[in-house]
Amino acid sequence: MQKIYLSQIPDGAPIPYDLYNDKDVILIKKGTKMSSDLKKKLQRNNIIYLTPQISPFHILDNRIKYLDDDVIVEIEKVKKVYSESFYELVREFEIFKESKRLDKKIISDIAENLISSISNNQQVYASIQGIRRKDAYTYLHSIDVSILMILLGKSMNMDNRDIEDAAISGLLHDIGKTKIADNILLKPDKLTEDEQIIMQKHTTYGYDILRDQMGYKESIYRPAREHHETMDGLGYPDRISGRDMHLYSKMVAICDIYDAITSDRVYKNAMLPHIAVEYIMSISNKKLDSVLVRQFIQNISIYPIGTKVLLNTKEEGIIVDNNEGFSLRPKVQIIGTDIRRDLLNELTVFIENIIE
């Protein structure tokens, strides 16, 4: 369901959803009439749009009963960090739109929080990529790209400072979109050619903001400009080839595409991770750096926790855990039974299909 900005609700119109704060407490009941006083009150509380309560993990929420307690505990921790990061980033970007100032310390804090949470719960982060619902798209997408950048950076044995830069470049790669009008940014249909040209400007806007306004370093402002460039030199805005792209730009390009194609957006259905992985591989070399793509894929669970699968035994099951380094052989809880199959031990059993 789509978000509705306060400015889109005329005075006197009923509010379409119950409105919660980040502690899950109802602030305003559905049907309450909007007024300019109420708008001011909401804005003072940093609320600038309404959505039904967001659970980026709705698939997991529906299937949590199949998971082990220790996995559930980890997921709860991840959810907390994820939603805190999300709200912080929303606040910073909205303040930026008003004041043209970004608090670099808060952005670093978001990155550091994500990094330490990923260090403690790496398996869960690697296992949940590509299965979350994306309502507030730009913000959730920025958090997701940052998470993917951290996972990728860690797998490349980058040191902590470099991982933090990689995380920040993921958080801010689309900041130029704050200068794109909402009627283009939030348009549910395909953009016209003219609109596409305007949308593409988010790369140079982002570069200007991060380099000139904010004084960020090269490893952060270059990905903002270069993340839509491609290895074959047919991307935008400068049509540079892979040789001239910054390492982080090539990393963001992979994380950006993977997250976009696995997201549930208004105008298209999300690709399941195993199909997304095939797609990413098919465009590597021409569009993406193939060495980095291989590295990236090793960190993504092809069968994320919560995925419903059909085994060759004709049993239906839910993926409840992954075996590190063996992404094709996860642990599967058979639906309606007490049977738990660890495909790393049962080598004649394999996943025939993903059901959803």
Task: Provide the token pair at 174.
Answer: 């689309």
The CB-of-237 to Fe ion minimum distance in angstroms stands at: 11
Q: 117 and 134 in contact (C-beta within 8 Å)?
A: no
Residue count of the chain, please give it: 356
Give, as ranges, the residues between 119 and 178 that touch Fe ion (CB under 5 A).
174
User: Nearer Cβ to Fe ion, position 92 or 174?
Assistant: 174
Closest residue by beta carbon to Fe ion = 174
C-alpha span between 140 and 129 (Å, rounded) = 12
DSSP 191: P
Task: Provide the token pair at 273.
Answer: 């991770």
The CB-of-241 to Fe ion minimum distance in angstroms stands at: 19
C-alpha span between 49 and 42 (Å, rounded) = 9
The CB-of-228 to Fe ion minimum distance in angstroms stands at: 6
Task: Provide the token pair at 248.
Answer: 């982080």
Q: 3-state DSSP helix/strand/coil percent for the chain, to nearest 5?
A: 50, 10, 35
Binding mask 170-199 for Fe ion (x = CB under 5 A): ----x-------------------------
Give, as ranges, the residues between 202 and 241 that touch Fe ion (CB under 5 A).
none
The CB-of-203 to Fe ion minimum distance in angstroms stands at: 7
Count, residues near Fe ion per rule CB under 5 A: 1
DSSP 63: H
In one letter, which amino acid is 93?
F
User: Nearer Cβ to Fe ion, position 176 or 273?
Assistant: 176
CA 296 from chain center: how many Å? 15
User: Nearer Cβ to Fe ion, position 71 or 245?
Assistant: 245
User: Nearer Cβ to Fe ion, position 142 or 327?
Assistant: 142
C-alpha span between 281 and 147 (Å, rounded) = 20
Give, as ranges, the residues between 272 and 291 that touch Fe ion (CB under 5 A).
none
The CB-of-227 to Fe ion minimum distance in angstroms stands at: 6
User: Nearer Cβ to Fe ion, position 260 or 318?
Assistant: 260
The CB-of-173 to Fe ion minimum distance in angstroms stands at: 6
Q: 284 and 290 in contact (C-beta within 8 Å)?
A: yes
Give, as ranges, the residues between 53 and 72 that touch Fe ion (CB under 5 A).
none
User: Nearer Cβ to Fe ion, position 170 or 304?
Assistant: 170
- Interface positions with Fe ion (CB under 5 A): 174
